[in-house]
């Protein structure tokens, strides 16, 4: 992020001469100096990814008020107002800026360092959704419609192939072929239309460790700090995203193909943590299909990356020409490794 733009953003929310520190999850820590405004976390949201970021504020206020009324033990970080008493600032490039309070004695992590942390993180996200059970999902705005709708994302993938340039399609042949063989995940997605067995719930939809603040004392999760996709959805989204981002020792940008793996202790910690955090919330069908969660989200992210590659990299930021294709291959390998693990350890059947 350009330093001049960061300075302008920091000036909207606090007073002092700020020092900036890059943090996990795209956040920037802003320290204004002793005797000045308290430290905070800045988040910049691009309208290309979230067309109506104003809905984030509406959802935040609705859910924050509900949690306070319910006296919930799980909560969200406090948004900081600008000097003009707004909860966001829009810059000249139409970037949408939020600032979060950074309470004392908190920590912000980038990776699930231990299975115990994976368990507590998954349990926290499940507890967050459980805390919102009584809130009418119809009141919550759909910030990113279709975000985890596999059928829609498959259609976008096929549409991109139909108009894609030959050279890009040739380079992506292997990924395209393998994804077309994952139709069993479409069958799983189609089952989710049964609202009795698979209720629509309020989910974070970006469940990852960098989107929480932890206690620096006992190491437990304290607050959700990212809710740019906090909206209604289906049960698989949050556990699936935790599995996708947490079970492999390398992230989605890695091209060390041989290092992509499923770490059993992390996988089991995420699943058990999520089920324990959900308590009696999940239906019998949701519990039965819990192992589809990671598979579906890995497939979705692979589809997104290869679709963007075919479309000439118009959505995800890249630093070299074939990065989106390599990201797609990374996610495909993780999907394959996850399939192998579930078949060998949980006797998983693609038909559910």
- Residues above pLDDT 90, as percent of the chain: 88
* Interval 77-88: pLDDT, tens: 999 999 999 999
> Bridge-partner residues for 89, per DSSP?
97
Do the beta carbons of residue 47 and residue 95 sit within 8 Å? yes
Q: Is 221 helix (H, G, I), strand (E, B) or coil?
A: strand
> Residue 325's CB: how many other CB atoms inside 10 A?
21
Sheet holding 221-224, edge to edge: 75-76, 221-224, 212-215, 106-107
Q: If you count them, how many residues does the chain have?
A: 352
CA 96 – CA 89 distance, rounded (Å): 6
**242 closest CA partner among 265, 213, 209, 215:** 209
- pTM exceeding 0.85: yes
**Complete DSSP assignment for 127-195:** HHHHHTTTS-GGGS--SSTTTT-HHHHHHHHHHHHHH--HHHHHHTHHHHHHHHT-HHHHHHHHHTT-T
Mean pLDDT of the chain: 94
Per-residue pLDDT tens over the stretch 179-222: 999 999 999 999 999 999 999 999 999 999 999 999 999 999 99
How many C-beta atoms lie closer than 10 Å to residue 152's C-beta? Answer: 14
Question: pLDDT digits over 134-159, tens only?
Answer: 999 999 999 988 889 999 999 999 99
Q: If you count DSSP H runs as helices and E runs as strands, how many of each does the chain have, helices first?
A: 12, 11
> Is 137 in contact with 202 (CB distance < 8 Å)?
yes
Query: Which residues, other chains included, contact 194 with Cβ-Cβ below 8 Å and sequence gap of 6+?
Result: 285
- Please state, as a whole number, how many other Cβ atoms lie within 10 Å of the Cβ of residue 196: 7
CA atoms within 13 A of residue 96's CA, in its CB half-sphere:
16
Mean pLDDT to the nearest integer, 161-177 = 98
The per-residue pLDDT for range 338-349, each reduced to its tens digit, is: 999 999 999 988
pLDDT(118) > 70: yes
- Of 305, 327, 177, nearest to 260 by C-alpha is 327
Give the pLDDT band of residue 352 (cuts 50, 70, 90): low
Q: Tell me the C-alpha distance between 193 and 36, whole Å.
A: 52
Instruction: Supply the pLDDT for residue 50.
Output: 84
Identify which of 19, 37, 26 has the alpha carbon closest to the alpha carbon of residue 1: 26
Nearest-10 Cα torsion for 119, 124, 130, 134? 180
Residue 94 banded pLDDT, cuts 50, 70, 90: confident
C-beta neighbour count of 313 within 10 angstroms:
17
CB 271 within 8 A of CB 123: no
Q: Would you call 309 exposed, middle or buried from its count of C-beta atoms within 10 A (0-12, 13-18, 19+)?
A: buried
Q: How far apart are CA 137 and CA 134, in angstroms?
A: 9
- 143, 179 Cβ separation under 8 angstroms: no
pLDDT above 80 for 256: yes
Alpha-carbon Rg for the chain in angstroms: 20
């Amino acid at each position: 992020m350009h330093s001049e733009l960061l300075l302008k953003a920091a000036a909207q929310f606090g007073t002092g001469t700020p020092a900036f520190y890059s943090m996990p999850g795209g956040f920037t820590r802003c320290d204004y100096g002793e005797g000045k405004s308290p430290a905070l976390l800045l988040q910049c949201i691009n309208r290309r990814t979230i067309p109506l970021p104003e809905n984030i504020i509406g959802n935040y206020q609705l859910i924050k008020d509900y949690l306070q009324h319910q006296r919930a033990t799980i909560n969200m970080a406090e948004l900081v107002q600008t000097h003009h008493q707004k909860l966001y600032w829009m810059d000249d490039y139409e970037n949408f800026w939020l600032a979060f309070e950074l309470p004392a004695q908190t920590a912000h992590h980038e990776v699930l360092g231990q299975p115990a942390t994976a368990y507590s993180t998954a349990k926290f996200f499940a507890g967050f959704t459980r805390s919102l059970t009584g809130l009418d999902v119809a009141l919550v705005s759909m910030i990113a419609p279709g975000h985890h709708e596999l059928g829609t994302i498959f259609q976008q993938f096929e549409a991109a192939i139909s108009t894609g340039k030959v050279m890009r399609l040739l380079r992506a042949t292997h990924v395209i072929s393998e994804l077309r063989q994952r139709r069993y995940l479409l069958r799983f997605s189609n089952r989710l239309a049964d609202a009795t067995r698979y209720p629509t719930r309020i989910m974070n939809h970006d469940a990852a460790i960098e989107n929480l603040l932890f206690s620096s004392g006992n190491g437990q999760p304290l607050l959700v700090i990212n809710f740019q996709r906090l909206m209604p959805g289906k049960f698989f989204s949050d556990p699936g995203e935790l599995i996708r981002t947490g079970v492999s020792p390398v992230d989605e940008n890695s091209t060390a193909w041989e290092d992509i793996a499923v770490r059993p202790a992390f996988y089991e910690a995420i699943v058990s943590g999520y089920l324990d955090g959900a308590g009696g919330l999940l239906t019998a069908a949701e519990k039965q299909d819990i192992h589809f969660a990671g598979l579906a989200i890995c497939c979705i992210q692979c589809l997104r990356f290869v679709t963007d590659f075919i479309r000439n990299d118009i959505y995800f930021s890249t630093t070299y020409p074939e990065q989106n294709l390599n990201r797609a291959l990374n996610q495909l390998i993780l999907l394959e490794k996850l399939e192998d693990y579930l078949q060998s350890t949980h006797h998983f059947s693609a038909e559910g």
